[in-house]
Structure 1
Amino acid sequence: MLNRRKFIKASAFTSVAGLVSQQLLTNEPEEAVLNNPVVISTWDAGLEANKAAWEVLSTGGRALDAVEKGVMVTEASINCCVGLGGNPDREGRVTLDASIMDENYNCGSVAFLERIKHPISVARRVMEKTPHVMLVGDGAQQFAVAEGFPLESGELSPDAKKAYENWLKKSEYKPVINIENKGHGPFAPQQLENGDWNHDTIGMVAMDAKGNLSGSCTTSGMGFKMRGRLGDSPIIGAGLFVDNEVGACTATGQGEDVIRVAGSHSVVEAMRSGLSPEAACKKIIERIVRIKKEQAKDIQVAFIAINKKGVVGAYALHKGFSYAVRTTKGEQLIKPKHYFK
């Protein structure tokens, strides 16, 4: 997987090349329609994830297959804070959450899953092979093993081990944003030296050539969290929601506050009322600000969305968030508008 600086260089190249216009993607009128297929995903890691999704979409494949294959790229990388390479909880153990949803309201998720490389694929098996929506903990792991997923070692990645050792020096557990990730507050994405926030989630939504929508979301959760903590990512309607008649949305950031407003579902409902994807994301971010008041300055939340016309958009609490877009016109990394200036 490319490192973060190479991602930025790649995104700058595609921007200069004019492959995708940000104005076309985020500000075009609602009556305009992008050529599907289209896939969008959170953060700069989404550039590589979108490439894998595009291999499915560009050959007429289903959006559901695309959003699974796409985020699997991020899950497999130990150079990112997603998957088994992510930061552990307070006990030094990595626990994973994931959810997936297709165009027919079918959905599946796993939470508090340990030692499984691809939780997104286990979530899909839950959706397709069980009468349930969510499996958690030991039960989720037992199901995964029964389905043929191998148990990984459970050893921390070198980066995660170093971060955990640094965190143990003070064992502070508080939200801090816009600092380098050196064992500080685990709630919020942390800003790295180049100005981009570290993160622990990738969410992806896509429209295929048939106009059908699907979405996925996978995370290692917030680093150094309390044992057993769950965020929004595995919760359908919070971290992810798809309504094939309206649109799809996924979230990243402080999951507790996404849950409070049923974030992704609320964005989709705002699109149902006629708002564009960007305006719908903004509306729910503003709702979070009204709830959190001054505390909103200390957290990060962002939403990305796509409507049934193929128009995409995003909005964040703070600067630093980016999302990746891939269409027939090419790829681009976009920094959307944000509430706090």
Structure 2
Amino acid sequence: MERRKFLKNSSTATAALVATPFLTSCKEDAKPAKTVKNTKALYPIVICTWNFMNASAKAWEVLNSGGTALDAVEQGVKVEEDDVNNQTVGTGGRPDRDGNVTLDACIMDKDGNCGAVLAMQNIANPISVARKVMEDTPHVMLAGQGAEQFAYEKGFEKVNLLTEQSRLEWLEWKKTSEYKPIINIENHDTIGMLAIDKNGDIAGGCTTSGMGYKMAGRVGDSPIIGAGLFVDNEVGGATATGVGEEVVRTVGSFLIVELMRQGKSPQEACEEGVKRIMAKNEGRNDFQIGFIAINKQGETGGYCIQAGFSYRTYSEEGHIDNPSESYIS
């Protein structure tokens, strides 16, 4: 079945908008970009948000054995979806305020094909369902009960995603029902992953259970192509974590890829992506956003609003946790 080529035809027009001079209202004392140039292309390589060393190790295992970037990101993020101790992704994720665990995910391949599921319940691996949407339907996104029914038709089993730990914490939260997400804990809600395989092809994936105790039906940036994830095989890829509403408002991942297309390094592009967000939130310091990016040469970068975010890389140079510089010290 012929797949839609999502956003492909709009890249040229959007690049003109991205080229507009950077907003002058940003902090003048923000840390300057650090640009590190490789002397040769570095791949295969994988990069993921946060210090998810088991996920990045699994992705590297796929890449190092000659597997594709697409397989690597799917298998990598599934590690976190299946980890019941990770309360931000997959099984064991924090529920919404009604006590339901709803999962979001998207995936994108080297050809610009993409698939996503939104607010899906009772299915343990939304990243794999998103891939099925990409490969087996004419659509990009399936939501709610439609996504769940599609998963059953593809052989996925119904499971209880609400673990006892998450259930008890939700009951405790209900005593006050105050929605005040904790930076780098409840805002630490996503694993986004980008990979380049031995052929130099790029793919990305992003999966989350969303904000803890969110309103029923809330969907953030994570399953939205161009916001939580974007890949262009000629340029590079980017993905995000944190308060998804702010990433959506700037189409953050697409912005970062377009900045790299214009010649910025992954680090420079991530920093400017954060600055765009902060220019629209002058005076706010109560939320977190973290971006990571990779370009076609295997150069990586990451930047965040608040200190505490890190990202992990795995390549022939080693398995490295990279503390990110931040906009707010």
Deviation at 1:158, TM superposition (A): 2.5
Amino acid at match of 1:216: G
Q: Unmatched 5+ residue regions in structure 1?
A: 1-25, 178-188, 191-196
Q: Deviations over 1:42-76 (max 9, x none)?
A: 1112x110111111100111100000000000000
Aligned residue in 1 for 2:163: 157
Following superposition, the deviation at residue 175 of structure 1 comes to: 4.1
Is 2:134 the partner of 1:122? no
State the identity as a percent: 52
Q: Aligned match of 1:220 in 171, 193, 209?
A: 209
The correspondence for 2:96, drawn from 77, 84, 89, is 89
1:150 is paired with a residue whose SS is: coil
From 288, 293, 315, the equivalent of 2:303 is 315
Does the residue aligned with 1:83 lie in a helix, a strand or coil? coil
C-alpha distance in 2, partners of 1:267/1:227? 30
Equivalence for 2:141 = 134
Query: CA shift at 1:329, angstroms?
Result: 2.0
The answer to whether residue 313 in structure 2 is matched with residue 325 in structure 1 is yes
Pairwise CA distance, 1:38: 0.4
Once the two structures are superposed, what CA deviation does each residue of 1:52-106 show, in whole Å capped at 9, x if it has no partner?
1111100111100000000000000000021121100010000000000000000
Q: Is the 8 A contact 1:84 1:96 kept in 2?
A: no
| Residue identity matched to 2:273 | I
- The residue type paired with residue 169 of structure 2 is A
Q: TM-score, normalised by structure 1?
A: 0.84
Measured against aligned partners, the alpha-carbon deviations of 1:220-246 in whole angstroms (never above 9, x if no partner) come to 000100000000000000000000000
Taking the aligned partners of 2:182 and 2:67, their CA distance within structure 1 comes to 41
Paired with 2:224 and 2:85, the residues of 1 have a C-alpha distance of 25
What is the 5 A alignment of 1:262-277? Answer: 262-277=251-266
What amino acid is aligned across from residue 242 of structure 2 in structure 1? G
Tell me, yes or no, if the aligned pair for 2:35 and 2:268 is still in contact at 8 Å.
Answer: no
- Give the counterpart letter for 1:326 in structure 2: Y
Alignment match of 1:209 (pick from 198, 202, 210)? 198
2:64 matches 1:64: no
Partner residue, 1:113: 120
Matched residue type, 1:331? H
Per the TM alignment, residue 165 of structure 1 is displaced from its structure 2 partner at its CA by 1.7
Distance 1:234 1:73 in 2: 18
Query: Once the 2 structures are TM-superposed, how far is the Cα of residue 108 of structure 1 from its aligned partner?
Result: 0.2
Any idea what SS the aligned residue of 1:108 has? strand
Which whole-Å CA distance do the structure 1 matches of 2:172 and 2:40 have between them? 49
Q: Contact (CA 8 Å) 1:113, 1:140: kept in 2 or not?
A: yes
> Which residue of 1 is the match for residue 154 of structure 2?
147
Aligned counterpart for 2:36 among listed residues 8, 21, 28: 28
Shift of 1:176: 4.1
Q: Which has the higher helix share?
A: 1
In the alignment, which residue of structure 2 is the partner of 1:287? 276
Q: Which residue of the partner structure matches residue 230 of structure 2?
A: 241
Q: What are structure 2's unaligned runs of at least 5 residues?
A: 1-33
What's the offset of the Cα at 1:321? 0.3
Q: How many angstroms apart in 2 are the aligned matches of 1:257 and 1:309?
A: 29
* Matched residue, 1:174: 180
1 CA distance for matches of 2:230 and 2:313?
19
Q: Distance in 2 between matches of 1:38 and 1:56?
A: 11
SS in 1 for 2:219: coil
Structure 1 residue 153: deviation in Å?
2.6
Between the two proteins, the alignment pairs up a number of residues equal to 295
Contact 2:267/2:303 (CA < 8 Å) preserved in 1? yes
- 1:262 partner amino acid: V
Paired residues of 1:39 and 1:326 also in contact (CA < 8 A): yes
- How much has 1:27 moved relative to structure 2? 4.2
The letter for the 1-side match of 2:252 is G
The corresponding residue for 1:261 is 250
Q: Which secondary structure does the structure 2 equivalent of 1:279 belong to?
A: helix
TM-score, structure 2 length as denominator?
0.87
Select the residue among 60, 70, 80 that pairs with 1:54: 60
What is the SS of the residue equivalent to 1:241? strand
The residue that corresponds to 2:218 in the other structure is: 229
Given that 2:187 and 2:288 are in contact with CA atoms closer than 8 Å, whether structure 1 keeps it comes out as: no
Q: What secondary structure, in the 3-state scheme, does the structure 2 residue paired with 1:33 have? A: coil
Aligned to 1:14: none
1:77 to 77, 83, 99: 83
Conserved 8 A contact 1:326-1:332: yes
Q: Which runs of 4+ in 1 moved over 4 A?
A: none
Note the C-alpha offset of 1:214: 0.2
- Aligned equivalents of 1:77 and 1:92: distance in 2? 19
